[in-house]
Structure 1
Amino acid sequence: MPSPPASPAGRQILAGVLLLVASMWALSGLDASGKYLMGTDVGVTLLAVCLVRYGVHMALTLITIIPSRGWKALRSSRPRAQAARGLSMLAATMLFFSALHYLPLGQATAINFLAPLIVLAAAPWALKEPPFLSRWVAAGAGLLGVLVVVRPGSGLDPTGTLFGLLTACALASQYIASRRVAVDDPYTTLIWSGAVGSAVMTLLLPLYWRDLVALSGQLSALEWLVLLGTGFWGCLGHFLQIHAYHKAPASLLAPFVYFQIVSGTALGWLIWGQFPDLVSWLGIAIVCSSGITIGLIEWRRNGASRARIPPTS
């Protein structure tokens, strides 16, 4: 007999998972584009990449969101928190692109996975959430995994490793700020993400406008396409994530975030022939396992707490 059709809720969850996995590939496309542009063969400056990345992001959000939602989509109930989130996001972008100048894409992506564990460990102070031993154990295990990846003898550049760890801290700050702007419409946050970065890079323009002028006649058509693609992939990745979290609960989707190690490693291998060794894969497995395990624990904990809440009439 034919199997019964999936329930609407099941289809929604499956759609959310697929959208989230697609967003991981888009964001890995952003990372790969940044690494390519920061390479010695192209040599685009960091500030120029960030200007185009956030400028294109902002333009795409305005073109796609404003016609359907109007200019009210720009209004935020917490503009200071939005600005803090945008600054943290810009800092994470600059630090990660700097890390990618020195590190393979797969290992750099693995170091980034320390960020959500930092958030969980710091939640009692940063978010006024109750402390849980499981969160600190997961953060410690994640740190151990990162130490295995960046161990002496791994061949990773110490400067790139430092930039990678700083990126994880900046991402943790971004995630904390994201919790504080959760009261806003997600599309408002998407617009602010590009607007804050664009505003900062415009203010810094006197520092690098000569590089931009020289760059305009230096890049090939392919390199211009990759440069403009940084904004496209970044905007697309965040756009897909918004729709993913509309389809399925964040606690259920949390373990699937770690699929980015697949997309990051695959692109690093296909483009640069860089593939982590067995010991690095062990460290990556420790980081991902700690994140997935604590994600499942948090899911069950949140479900239990909801079950204890008496129904209201």
Structure 2
Amino acid sequence: MSSRPEALPAGLAPRTRATLCVLAAMVCFATYDALSKHLAGTYPVTELLWVRYATHAGLMLVVFGPAMGLRLVKTSQPVAQVLRALLLVAVTFLFMNGLKYIRLAEATAINFLAPLLVTALSAPLLKERVPLRSWIAVLAGFTGVLLIVRPGAGMNAGMLFPLGSAVCYSLYQIMTRRFVGAEHPLTTHFILGSVGLVVTTFTWQPSWVMPDPGHVPLMVGLGLTTGLGHFLLIKAFEHISPATAAPFTYTHLVWAVVLGFVLFGEVPGPLSVLGILTIATGGLLNVLGARAKGR
């Protein structure tokens, strides 16, 4: 009699912990975006990215290096790993530049077009059958972007940065599918940080600014928040699938609106709010379509 009540929490706890990990990861990513926006007005983007990737790679080397040794860098697909990492460097470079010109919530919402682009590109690139529900979701996402960008109505050219970031991120996600089950996730994550560090090191230029002492913790926070966020997702995916986690990732949009208002006094206009909600609706519809397809 007493064993049955104890079995239920034991069975549910891993999924509950995994969900909390996803929610915490979204807080980390939204915090990273806010830090990026704050610092990008003072420091060159490439300098900030160097700090991010140096912290990312350094922490992984210290935390996981002793236990994994050479397995941390052992990969059967080195070229694909490097190309994937380069795509993420492009994602972060474009997105961080966009934050200098547009509101945090708008940039984040446009970047959430990426999962819908993955769906649209799955047909020509992966030869996958895309159901009608998913195409409707893609159309909703593009409609949301148009509501935010409003081309021809005094469009802010800075919107092109997160749009480019979303395209690169969709290609990054498609490449990521190659490594699911084939490569250790920590290896993939370490190579990502290492390639980013090498690339941004080669972008060094005299215009880089000596950090203000008060900004140093914030700059280190760039690497800490993204590193912790990705680590939390890795832990979450040990117990739940990406499809199960996907609806919870849209809390990132909520945090973007909150942090944009609290830290920068940004209030999205009515059309932008409608666009953000439309993109989120399209994304959630896409998740439901993927779940139905998987049954």
- TM-score scaled by length of structure 1: 0.88
Give the match for residue 119 of structure 1: 118
Contact residue 134 and residue 289 of structure 2 kept, 8 A: no
| CA RMSD after TM alignment | 1.9
Structure 2 residue matching 1:292: 3-state secondary structure: helix
1:35-85 per-residue CA deviation (whole Å, 9 max, x = no partner) reads 11112xxx2011111111111111011111112222212111211121111
Contact residue 145 and residue 286 of structure 1 kept, 8 A: yes
Contact residue 133 and residue 285 of structure 2 kept, 8 A: no
1:279 shift after superposition: 2.6
Distance in 1 (alpha carbons) for counterparts of 2:11 and 2:195: 36
Give the match for residue 309 of structure 1: none
Give the match for residue 168 of structure 2: 170
Distance in 1 (alpha carbons) for counterparts of 2:176 and 2:30: 21
Distance in 2 (alpha carbons) for counterparts of 1:108 and 1:9: 39
2:27 maps to amino acid:
W
Give the match for residue 181 of structure 1: 179
The 3 A distance-change label for structure 1 pair 193 and 102 is same
Give the match for residue 311 of structure 1: none
Contact residue 51 and residue 198 of structure 1 kept, 8 A: yes
Structure 2 residue matching 1:246: 3-state secondary structure: coil
1:19 shift after superposition: 0.5
1:87-102 matches, within 5 Å, as 87-102=86-101
Give the match for residue 241 of structure 2: 249
1:136-285 matches, within 5 Å, as 136-151=135-150, 158-182=156-180, 183-205=182-204, 208=205, 210-212=206-208, 215-216=209-210, 219-285=211-277
Give the match for residue 292 of structure 1: 284
1:247 shift after superposition: 1.9
1:154 shift after superposition: 8.1
Distance in 2 (alpha carbons) for counterparts of 1:188 and 1:95: 25
Give the match for residue 310 of structure 1: none
- Correspondence for 2:36 among 21, 34, 37: 34
Dislocated runs of 4+, deviation >3 Å? 4-9, 152-155
Contact residue 255 and residue 296 of structure 1 kept, 8 A: no
1:143-167 per-residue CA deviation (whole Å, 9 max, x = no partner) reads 0011112226987x62211111111
2:287 maps to amino acid:
G
Distance in 2 (alpha carbons) for counterparts of 1:9 and 1:119: 33
1:158 maps to amino acid:
N
Distance in 2 (alpha carbons) for counterparts of 1:291 and 1:10: 27
Identity of aligned residues (%): 34
Distance in 1 (alpha carbons) for counterparts of 2:263 and 2:214: 15
Distance in 2 (alpha carbons) for counterparts of 1:153 and 1:21: 37
Distance in 1 (alpha carbons) for counterparts of 2:151 and 2:65: 50
Distance in 1 (alpha carbons) for counterparts of 2:153 and 2:63: 44
Structure 1 residue matching 2:129: 3-state secondary structure: coil
1:127 shift after superposition: 2.2
1:25 maps to amino acid:
V
Structure 2 residue matching 1:70: 3-state secondary structure: helix
The reply on whether 1:16 has 2:18 as its aligned counterpart is: yes
Q: Could you list the runs of 5+ residues in structure 2 that have no partner in the other structure?
A: none
**Equivalences, count:** 290
Give the match for residue 45 of structure 1: 44
1:162-210 per-residue CA deviation (whole Å, 9 max, x = no partner) reads 11111110111111111112221111111011011111112233xx1x2
Structure 1 residue matching 2:43: 3-state secondary structure: coil
1:51-90 matches, within 5 Å, as 51-90=50-89
Contact residue 134 and residue 285 of structure 2 kept, 8 A: no
Give the match for residue 308 of structure 1: none
Contact residue 84 and residue 172 of structure 2 kept, 8 A: yes
Distance in 1 (alpha carbons) for counterparts of 2:239 and 2:67: 20
Distance in 2 (alpha carbons) for counterparts of 1:131 and 1:289: 18
Distance in 2 (alpha carbons) for counterparts of 1:9 and 1:98: 44
2:179 maps to amino acid:
V
1:263 shift after superposition: 1.3
Distance in 1 (alpha carbons) for counterparts of 2:202 and 2:11: 47
